[in-house]
A = this chain, B = another copy of it.
């Protein structure tokens, strides 16, 4: 499967020589970094009896106020039963509000309550701080480069969803 000695250049860019060792380091870095990436929010969530699944729901509801359940399911890529379990506790705990759609009354539109927004703020503050520090430590150019690599690593379907999110903020 492509022995690391190159082949032909693609995209008209300079040929990149990537050794197995370089790739392995990248893979391990990804693994270890993801732990750090989630460590701070995890601590906050744990104190409330929540997990990462709650964080993800809160994040994307904040990101897209009034999104529907189906929409959220597509973004998160889990089953409705799995999401519903999380959503139910968040609604019961008064962090998320579910309003019946006006145009289509079958849909439920999801919003963060004040408490929900407060938790979202708390979670994103620590996570953003971690990412900000990492970007600064890595220096200029890292922001775009980092995101480009990540974007290229996504499955096409997820990339589309990601790009749709970042385009219009909705």
Residues of A whose CB lies within 8 Å of any CB of B are: 1-2, 4, 10-11, 13-14, 16, 18, 20-37, 39, 56, 59, 63, 77, 124-125, 127-143, 145-155, 158-159, 161-162, 165-166, 169
Pick from B22, B140, B152: contact of A134, CB below 8 A: B152
Pick from B23, B30, B127, B139: contact of A132, CB below 8 A: B23
Within the assembled complex, what's the spacing in Å between the Cα atoms of A77 and B56? 23
Evaluate whether A155 and B29 lie within 8 angstroms (CB atoms) in the complex, with A63-B24, A132-B18 already known. Answer: no
Evaluate whether A152 and B128 lie within 8 angstroms (CB atoms) in the complex, with A30-B34, A31-B56 already known. Answer: no
The answer to whether A16 touches B155, judged by C-beta atoms less than 8 angstroms apart, is: no
For A22, the chain B residues whose CB sits under 8 A away are 143
The answer to whether A153 touches B37, judged by C-beta atoms less than 8 angstroms apart, is: yes
The answer to whether A131 touches B36, judged by C-beta atoms less than 8 angstroms apart, is: no
The answer to whether B148 touches A26, judged by C-beta atoms less than 8 angstroms apart, is: no
The answer to whether B137 touches A152, judged by C-beta atoms less than 8 angstroms apart, is: yes
A-B contact pairs, 16 of them (CB 8 A): A2-B129, A18-B132, A18-B136, A26-B135, A27-B59, A27-B128, A27-B131, A28-B166, A29-B146, A29-B147, A29-B150, A30-B37, A134-B149, A134-B153, A135-B152, A138-B145
- Chain B residue nearest to A156 (CB atoms) is B36
The answer to whether B150 touches A135, judged by C-beta atoms less than 8 angstroms apart, is: no
The answer to whether A29 touches B162, judged by C-beta atoms less than 8 angstroms apart, is: yes
Of listed A63, A134, A169, residue having the most chain B CB within 10 A: A134
